[in-house]
């Protein structure tokens, strides 16, 4: 048996395969009301058919981050310790993400999306490239302190 998600309705355990009693769980009621909107935005904004799996877009952006930063490093001739740390952390994270998707695929991300939903997802995923661009281009500090480097690695290791 399990309880309502997020701790709502504590003490109202339900069997693992049962649907939550909506009177007992406001979290489930709230999610049920917004899930159709989220699904429409994430997967099926018109026009067009669903043609590309969402995980392809996610994997392309996660894996492509280190390539993007490496190109920026060459373009800006910036091979600082901060740039290398950024590329190592984000690059290895991206590689591990793709490997995880190949071994343990998330069924929600296997869903095909429309062109507009794919464009929105790509724009949101491109935000991951912004910190790398800011650092390598010189907009942001590219010589982090030892303390900042340690915090970055600790955050990376513990997720």
What residues does each domain of the chain span?
A: 5-43, 52-158
- pLDDT above 90 covers what percent of the chain? 55
Quote the mean pLDDT of the chain: 83
pLDDT at 118 over 50: yes
SS3 45: coil
CB 32 within 8 Å of CB 100: no
Specify the pLDDT at position 100. 95
Q: Rounded to an integer, what distance in angstroms lies between the CA atom of residue 106 and that of residue 42?
A: 15
pTM: 0.71
Q: Rounded to an integer, what distance in angstroms lies between the CA atom of residue 58 and that of residue 72?
A: 21
Mean pLDDT calculated for residue range 37-57: 79
Residue with tokens 């982090």: 144
pLDDT classification of 29: cutoffs 50, 70, 90 = confident
pLDDT classification of 15: cutoffs 50, 70, 90 = very low
């Amino acid at each position: 048996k399990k309880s309502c998600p997020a701790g709502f309705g504590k003490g109202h355990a339900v069997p693992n395969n049962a649907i939550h009693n909506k009177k007992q769980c406001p979290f489930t009621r709230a999610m049920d009301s917004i899930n159709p909107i989220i699904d429409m935005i994430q997967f099926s904004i018109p026009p067009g058919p669903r043609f590309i799996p969402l995980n392809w877009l996610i994997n392309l952006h996660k894996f492509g981050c280190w390539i993007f930063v490496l190109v920026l490093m060459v373009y800006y001739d910036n091979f600082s310790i901060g740039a290398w740390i950024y590329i190592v952390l984000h690059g290895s994270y991206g590689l591990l993400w793709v490997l995880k998707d190949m071994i343990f695929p998330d069924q929600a991300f296997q869903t095909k999306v429309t062109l507009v939903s794919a464009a929105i997802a790509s724009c949101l995923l491109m935000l991951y490239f912004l910190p790398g661009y800011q650092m390598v281009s010189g907009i942001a500090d590219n010589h982090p302190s030892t303390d900042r480097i340690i915090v970055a690695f600790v955050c990376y290791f513990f997720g």
